[in-house]
Chains A and B, each alone.
Chain A
Amino acid sequence: MFDNFPLWPDRASSMAGKVDALYIFLIIVSGMMTLLIFTAVVYFAARYRYRKGVPAEQIEGSTPLELTWTVIPMGVFMVIFIWSAVVYFKMRTPPRDATEVYVVAKQWMWKLEHAEGQREINELHVPVDRDVKLIMTSQDVIHSFYVPAFRMKQDVLPGRYTVAWFRATKPGTYHLFCAEYCGTQHSGMIGSIVVMEPAQFEAWMSGGSGGPLSATGEKIFAELGCATCHRADTQGRGPNLQGVFGKPVQLEDGRMITADENYVRESILDPGSKIVKGFKPVMPTFQGLVSEEQVNALVAYVKSVSQSGAATGKSAAATEPEGVSGKAQGSKVQ
C-alpha cells in the first residue's frame, strides 16, 4: 500500500528548485518558531503547574521584550517577502525567445496549440530544457493552469490573455490540473504534460500539422478581409501591422501602450477601445465572429509579421520611408 506514497512532488522545471528552496527555508523558520513556542508552553505548563501555597508571580509585561518580538519577526518576514518576490518575478517574466503555446480552456478541457500548428487536447508535449510560454484564455469561466511538478500555476480568464512560462528540466509525464473551481467536472479537467528529449520532440512535432499557427492566422486575415484596410503601406484606413508587435504604440488620447498579446486581442474584439493616433474608429468588432482559436491564430500572425519584419516579403512598403514613418507613428490592428 505504501509503494505509491510520495511526500514531495516531482521537481521538473527550472523554477521548482527555487520554490522548493524557499519552501524549505520557510519550513525551517516556522519550524523553529513552532519549536520555540511549543517548548516554552510545555516547559512553563509543567514547571509552573499549580502547587499548593506557591502563588503565581505577577509580571505586568515588558516593553523591550514586546519590541523584540515585534521587530525580529518583522525582519524575518521581510527576508521572506523579498526572497519570495524575487522568485515570483521570475515566474511572471517569460523569457523573450520562448516557444509559444496557445491555450484555450473550456468547461472541462484544455485545448493547446503549438505555434508550429500542432493541436492537442488535455496533453502538452514539450521539449526538455527549452522555455515555453503559454498564452492562455478561457472560453467560459475562470480556470487555472496548474502543473505541480513545475510549481507553476496561472488562472485562465475569459475575455483576456494571461501568460505563464516554464522550462522543463526532466523528461517524463506530469500532472496538469485545473486549480480554479470551474463547475461540475472540475476534477475531470486534468491532463498531462509530456516532457521529451529534444530529438524525440522533433520526431513528435514532425507528425503532421496544418502548418504553423501564423499561417493559419494569415489565411483568416485574408478571409476576413483585414488586409483591405491593414495594408502594408500608409494608405490603409487601418494601421500597418508590420513590426508593431512588442513595440510601444501611441493612442489617440495620448497614452502610450505596448502592443502585446492582450492589446492585439482587444483590438480584434473591441476595436473602438484603443485607437491608434491618426486613425479613425471605423473597424467593426469581430466579437462573436471569430473563435478563441482564430483569435489566437490572428495574434500569432500579427506577431509573425513583426518578428520577421520585411522579410515576410508581403510588403515592399516596409522598406520605403513612408512605411518607416508609419511605423514610428505607431500602428495598430484596426
Chain B
Amino acid sequence: MATGNIPPVEREDYLNKHYGVGSWLFTTDHKRIALLYLISITFFFFIGGFFALLIRLELLTPASDLVQADTYNKFFTQHGMVMVFFFLIPSIPATLGNFLVPMMIGAKDLAFPKINLLSWYLYIIGGIMMLHCMVTGGVDTGWTFYTPFSTAFTNTKIVEAGLAIFIAGFSSILTGLNFVVTIHRMRAPGMTWTRLPLFIWAHYATSIIQILGTPVVAITIVLVAAERALHLGIFDPKLGGDPLLFQHLFWFYSHPAVYIMILPSMGVVSEIISCFSRKRIFGYSFVALSSISIAVFGFLVWAHHMFVAGMSVYAALIFSLLSYSVAVPSAVKVFNWTATLYKGSIHYDAPMLYAFGFLGLFTIGGLTGLFLAALGIDVHVTDTYFVVAHFHYIMVGGALMGYLGGMHFWWPKISGRLYPEGWARLAALIVFIGFNLTFFPQFILGYLGMPRRYADYSHMPEFQILNVFSTAGATVLGVGYLLPMVYFLWSMRYGKPASDNPWNAAGLEWQTQSPPTTFNFPEEPVVTWEAYNYDEIDKGQKEVPQVVG
C-alpha cells in the first residue's frame, strides 16, 4: 500500500539542517532527541537480549553447566533491570512518543525542549552506571531488589545499580512531565481533546503513571541504599523493620510500570489498526477513556504480587478484587480494535501484521493475568514460570510488538525512506512464531511448578523438554529481532525515498514533509476534522496534505 513518490529536490529537514556531533548532542529538537533515544535504547535492548539468550542457553540442560549459579543469578538480574528500566519503560514514549507527540497535536516542539534533552542525558548517565555496574561485578538480587536479601545479605553492587535506576527514573519522570504539559498547552487550534489521536491519549495516561509512580520507587531505592549502608532497620526484621513494606512501596510503582510499557503500545496499535482498515476507530471515546482508567486502576492493584508474601488475607481479597478492575478496560480495548476491523478495507502491510500479533499475544497475556489475579490459582503459580510467561506475553508480546509495529509505521516519516516490505513481513512472522515457541511452553512449565530464577533443575529432569522448546524459540526470536535492525539500517541508505504520506494516513504528522523540518510544520496547522477521518481521505474529500495556514 505504501507509495513512494520521489520528492523532486533535496529539501531541508531536521536531519540535514545541521551536521556534526555537536548538532546532535546539544539539540533540543524533539525529533533528534527521539533518534538519540532510539539509538541508546536499541543498544540496551541488545544487551538485555544478550543476557536473555544466555539465560535460555543455561536452561537448555537441567544442570547448571554453562555457568555457575551465581553468574546465572546475575544474568537474569541484568536482563530484568536492563530490559525494564533501560528498554521497555523508555521504549515507545522516549522514541516514537518524543517524535510524534508534538507533531500529532500540531506543535513545534515539546513544551520544555531543554528538559527533554536533560532527560536523555539522565538516561545515558543512568545507563552508563548500569553498564559499569554490570562489567565490574553486577547484581544478583533480581530486578525486584527484595529485602532483606538486597539490604543485608548479597555482597553485589546494589547501591550502584539502585543509583542507576534512580537516575533513569528521573529521566522517565521528566519525559512524562513534558508530555502532560505539551498535550495540555501546545495543541494546535482546533485540536480538541476528542480529536486527539489515541496515541496521544495513551501517552497522556502513561505520563500520569510516570509522574506519580516513579518518585515512589525512587524513594524506595534511597531507603534500600541507606538501609544497606547503615543498617537502619527500616526493611530489616532483625532490627524491627518489615520486609513487606519494601514490597508495598516497590510494587506501588512497579506494577503500574507495566502499564507504562503497554499503554503506549496500545496507542500505536490504535493508530495502525485504524489506518490499515481505512476506518475510524470503533468507540473512540471508550478506547481513549480506557487508557485513562488503566492508568488510574493500575495504581490500585499492586499487592497482587504479594498474595503469598505474608500479607493479610483481607488485603489479599481487596487487591484481588481491584485487580479485575484493570482487566475490564483492557478487554474493552481489545473488543474495540476487533470491531474496528469489521467492514474495513484491510491491508496487510508489516505494521498491520505487528498489530495483529499484538492483538493475539496481548489477549493471551491479558487473559493469563486473570489466572494470577485469582487468589486460589495465584498461590500455586506465582513465582513460577507461569508468571514469567504471562508478563513476557504482555511486555514482549504486547509492548515490543507495538513498538516494532510503530517503528515500521512511522519509519518513512522518521527516516524519509521506505523499509523493504517483504523482509518486514517475514520478520513479523518470525517474531510471532519465535515468541510463541519461547513463551507458551512456560505456561505449562509454570503450572507444573517450575519456580522462577532457578539456575539448575537437575532434580527435575521432567522440565527439560519444555525448556528445550523455549530455548529453540528464543533463537528464532533473536533472528526476528536482528532482521528489522539490519533492514532499517540498510533502508537509511538504500531504501526508496518515502512520500510525505506513504500510508495515506490520517493524523497531523503525515501532513508535513518526510522527514519533517525542524519545527515540524511550515505554518501552525488548524485542525478542522475529526481524528481518523479515513472516509474523507479515501473519498478524496480531504486533500492530503491538508495544512491550513
Contacts and interface: CB of A to CB of B under 8 A. Distances in A.
Please determine if A and B sit in direct contact within the complex, based on CB atoms under 8 angstroms apart: yes
Contacts of B308: 144, 153-155
B447 A59 contact: no
A78 B325 CA distance: 10
A23 to B, nearest CB: 6
Contacts of B383: 144, 146, 153, 179-180
Interface residues of B, number: 96
Contact of A45 (B237, B356, B376): B356
Contact of A4 (B69, B380, B384, B461): B461
A177 B149 contact: no
A6 B375 CA distance: 25
Contacts of A206: none
B534 A58 contact: yes
A19 B447 CA distance: 11
Contacts of B203: none
A81 to B, nearest CB: 6
B356 to A, nearest CB: 7
Given A30-B367, A41-B356, A48-B342, A87 B149 contact: no
Given A69-B331, A81-B324, A159 B280 contact: no
B317 A85 contact: yes
Contacts of A107: 153
Interface residues of A, number: 88
A46 to B, nearest CB: 9
Q: Which 3 A-B pairs have the closest CB atoms?
A: A148-B449, A159-B237, A87-B376
A13 to B, nearest CB: 11
Give the interface centre of B69, B380, B452, B462 by most chain A CB atoms within 10 Å: B380
Interface stretch (A32-40, A126-134, A208-216, A297-305): A32-40
Contacts of B465: 1-2, 5
Given A158-B243, A175-B449, A177-B449, A62 B327 contact: no
Interface of A: 1-2, 4-9, 18-19, 22-23, 26, 29-30, 33-34, 37-38, 40-41, 44-45, 48-51, 54-62, 65-66, 69-70, 73-74, 77-78, 80-81, 83-89, 91-92, 107, 140-142, 144, 146, 148-149, 151-155, 157-160, 162, 175, 177-188, 190, 270
B108 interface: no
Contact of A59 (B280, B448, B461, B538): B280
Contacts of A55: 278, 345, 535, 538-539
Interface in B446-474: 447-449, 451-457, 459-462, 465
B374 A37 contact: no
Contacts, number: 281
A152 B447 CA distance: 12
A62 to B, nearest CB: 7
Interface stretch (B23-31, B258-266, B357-365, B410-418): B357-365
B379 A153 contact: yes
Contacts of A48: 277, 341-346
A231 to B, nearest CB: 30
Interface string B245-282: 00000000000000000000000000000000111101
B310 A88 contact: no
B223 interface: no
A160 B310 contact: yes
Interface stretch (B110-118, B332-340, B491-499, B507-515): B332-340
Contacts of B459: 175, 190
Given A30-B368, A186-B73, A188-B69, A141 B380 contact: no
A46 B240 CA distance: 63
B10 interface: no
B63 to A, nearest CB: 10
A9 to B, nearest CB: 5
Contacts of B360: 38, 41
A167 B245 CA distance: 32
A74 B370 contact: no
